């Protein structure tokens, strides 16, 4: 009798596993995963110096994990070790701003949490890496957004003159957000290969500018130069089929470094020497760990990088919305603020939704203090 029950149980488990595998394979064929480059775009990618064996590579040796780390150790820590204050226990403070009626004669910055932000420069609106969904993941079981006093939605966004996508990771290129705003986007600037996704999702090819590292283009009166970053890309299990990038944005009045995601490396000093000084450097500061230190900076390295870029001020982003690492939710802000103070370096850390002038620097209070 016991053998029959065991056999029946195993049969049921195998059927469930088979259904799950088939369902997963079918789901991964949905539009939201994007598509690989082909044709002339793929030929252009294959001619790139750092494209080898079907994938892009970093210019500096960049292991996915540090020398003393392993995937088994990483998974064990992520799934089985207790996460202390990984997510705030109370809704984060948010300022609800009417983004459609910002004073058009002002140069402004508005952050929406993680790496999503709006720049208003010389009367134009530039939106970077908008992820306004509840999850930064293809499945609704991980990477859920923190509780917020107000949650910015795609319908809050104004008409966008230029959308910048630094790379195609789910926490930087969100299908749902993109589909909701694409009719209000006039032009897109992104890295080589990423446009294949955007075209599949219905955005016109002629309104996309794809750049390889070192290439530049003029878009709506702004000069964009693509620069390297120390990271990776991918929306499926296959990595690096599109380019991850940082961008130098040069307007009439400002020069801004849009950092995207990047581990610390020699490229910051090289970019600073070639393209600096910058008025602002917007740099990732969050979702780090010593185990993957080569692809995400530690908070103290943000200040080092900003100095090497020759930036007057820096905005730390990539925090305060999703828990994609094991550190406490406010650890990145506490540490970067401390490093900035120790180095007498001015940083810009607004609340989510707070309007910041890019013409007049004002030291902002540490809004995260006192929040559990």
Write out pLDDT tens, residues 214-229: 999 999 999 999 999 9
Q: Phi first, then psi: give them for residue 199, nearest 5 degrees.
A: -65, -40
Contact 242, 235 (CB under 8 A): no
In the predicted model, is pLDDT for residue 316 greater than 70? yes
Cα–Cα distance, 158 to 144 (Å, whole number): 25
The highest-level CATH class for domain 99-357 is alpha beta
Write out pLDDT tens, residues 21-36: 555 555 556 899 999 9
Give which of 56, 63, 60 is closest to 193, Cα–Cα.
56
Q: Residue 11 — very low, low, confident or very high, per pLDDT cuts 50/70/90?
A: low
Percent of the chain surpassing pLDDT 90: 84
- Buried residues in 102-120 as b, exposed as e (16+ CB within 10 A): beeeebbbbbbbbbbbbbb
Write out pLDDT tens, residues 69-102: 787 777 776 666 766 899 999 999 999 999 999 9
Q: What does the block give as tokens for 6?
A: 């065991």
Locate all alpha helices (DSSP H) within 187-277, ordered by sequence: 195-200, 267-275
Which has more pLDDT, 185 or 68?
A: 185
Burial degree of 371 (CB within 10 A; 0-12, 13-18, 19+): middle
| Residue with tokens 């185990």, as numbered in its chain | 291
In the predicted model, is pLDDT for residue 274 greater than 60? yes
Cα–Cα distance, 128 to 145 (Å, whole number): 18
Q: Rg for the chain (alpha carbons), in Å?
A: 21
In the predicted model, is pLDDT for residue 20 greater than 50? no
Q: Residue 351 — very low, low, confident or very high, per pLDDT cuts 50/70/90?
A: very high
Cα–Cα distance, 30 to 134 (Å, whole number): 19
pLDDT, position 28: 56
Q: Which of left, alpha, beta for 235 (phi over 0: left; psi -120 to 50: alpha)?
A: alpha
Cα–Cα distance, 203 to 197 (Å, whole number): 9
Average pLDDT over residues 203-213: 98
- Partners of 46 in beta bridges: none
DSSP class per residue in 99-125: GGG--TTS-EEEE-SBT-EEEEETTEE
Write out pLDDT tens, residues 148-175: 999 999 999 999 999 999 999 999 999 9
pLDDT, position 219: 98
Average pLDDT over residues 236-254: 96
Model-level pTM greater than 0.75? yes
Average pLDDT over residues 97-119: 98
Average pLDDT over residues 279-298: 97
Q: Where are the domains of the chain?
A: 1-33, 99-357
pLDDT, position 84: 81
């Amino acid at each position: 009798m016991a053998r029959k029950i065991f056999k029946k149980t195993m049969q049921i488990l195998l059927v469930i596993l088979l259904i799950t595998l088939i369902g997963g394979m079918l789901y991964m064929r949905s539009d939201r995963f994007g598509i690989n480059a082909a044709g002339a775009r793929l030929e252009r990618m294959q001619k790139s110096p750092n494209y080898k064996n079907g994938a892009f590579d970093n210019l500096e040796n960049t292991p996915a994990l540090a020398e003393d780390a392993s995937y088994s150790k990483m998974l064990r820590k992520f799934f089985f070790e207790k996460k202390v204050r990984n997510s705030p226990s109370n809704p984060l403070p948010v300022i609800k701003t009417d983004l459609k009626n910002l004073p058009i004669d002002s140069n402004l910055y508005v952050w929406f949490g993680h790496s999503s932000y709006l720049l208003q420069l010389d009367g134009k609106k530039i939106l970077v890496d908008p992820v306004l969904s509840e999850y930064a993941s293809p499945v609704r079981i991980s990477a859920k957004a923190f509780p917020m006093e107000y949650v910015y939605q795609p319908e809050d966004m104004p008409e966008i003159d230029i959308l910048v996508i630094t790379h195609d990771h789910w926490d930087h290129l969100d299908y749902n957000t993109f589909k909701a705003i694409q009719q209000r986007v006039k032009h897109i600037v992104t890295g080589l290969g990423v446009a294949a996704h955007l075209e599949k999702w219905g955005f016109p090819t002629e309104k996309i500018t794809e750049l390889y590292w070192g290439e530049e283009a003029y878009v709506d009166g702004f000069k964009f130069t693509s620069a390297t970053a120390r990271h990776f890309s991918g929306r499926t299990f296959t990595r690096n089929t599109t380019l991850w990038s940082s961008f130098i944005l040069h307007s009439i009045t400002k020069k801004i470094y849009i950092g995207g995601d990047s581990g610390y490396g020699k490229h910051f000093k090289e970019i600073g020497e070639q393209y600096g000084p910058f008025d602002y450097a917007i740099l990732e500061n969050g979702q780090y760990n010593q185990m993957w230190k080569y692809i995400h900076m530690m908070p103290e390295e943000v200040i080092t990088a900003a100095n090497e870029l020759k930036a007057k001020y820096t905005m730390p982003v990539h925090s305060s919305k999703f828990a994609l690492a094991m550190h406490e939710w406010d650890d990145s802000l506490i540490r970067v603020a401390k490093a900035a103070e120790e180095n007498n370096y001015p940083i810009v850390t607004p609340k989510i939704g707070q309007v910041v002038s890019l013409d007049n620097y004002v030291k902002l209070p540490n809004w995260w203090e006192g929040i559990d």
